[in-house]
Amino acid sequence: MSDEAFGTLRPFDALSPRGLAGKREYVLDLERRADPDAIALLVECLIDESGYLRDLAGGALVRVGAPAAPILPLLSHGLWFTRGSAARTLGRLGARDAARSLANLLSDSNESVTGEAVQALISIARAGGAVHVARALFVRPEVERTRALREARARDADVARRFEELFRDRDLMLAAEDELLGHDTALKPGDDGVAWEILTGDAKRGDQG
């Protein structure tokens, strides 16, 4: 992110009230615009070395409902904190189409990044992408899948149980994408604390998932 992007902001005052306010106003302006160019600039903020700016931009991207496509390339970025910020943002967006790319981060050498990836996958599962996430995990090496399941169990036991249930359905795990309609589910609060509700497709087919 160039100095010009923040007017008179300079690196030495980036953590000053003035510097923080400048970054906040910059992101708020982009969020208000919410057009493709503004979204591209918000995605660019996820590369910035300032964690404060990355968090602001990630929140803005979620609030405007940004598409996953411009964020996905950042999952392979050379900066670990950019990969982590991108994973976190995709998780908060509930981006099912990011599941495979996020699962690839399970082999990342940075533990913070793998942790963000697991949390993002959990968030996507809770938002209705449990089948997409389970399929993404199913094709990973067993050691990665086992580790992800263990971490998921520690963070959200209900989601972990759902993954284990889905893993047992090998046909579903290996089905073509166009065969998934009616299977994906979301974890929602219910009378017993949780209940899995069918979100897509007809009820008869969904009951089988």
Q: What is the pLDDT of residues 99-149, one digit of tens each?
A: 999 999 999 999 999 999 999 999 999 999 999 999 999 999 999 999 999
Do 208 and 186 touch, CB atoms closer than 8 A? Answer: no
Counting every residue written for the chain, the total comes to 209
Let me know if residue 133 belongs to a domain.
no
**Predicted TM-score of the model (pTM):** 0.79
Q: Which residues does 196 contact at the CB level (< 8 Å), separation at least 6?
A: 130, 162, 185, 186, 187, 188
Q: Look at residue 35 and tell me whether its pLDDT is greater than 50.
A: yes
Please state the domain count of the chain: 1
Q: Is residue 187 part of a domain?
A: no
Residue 16: predicted pLDDT: 55
Supply the pLDDT for residue 158.
97
Q: In the prediction, which pLDDT does 182 show?
A: 54
Q: Is residue 42 part of a domain?
A: yes
Residue at 19 is within a domain: yes
In a domain, 209, yes or no: no
- Is 45 domain-assigned? yes
* Domain-embedded: residue 46: yes
Write out pLDDT tens, residues 13-26: 444 546 889 999 99
Where in the sequence is the domain holding 29, given as residue range(s)? 1-66
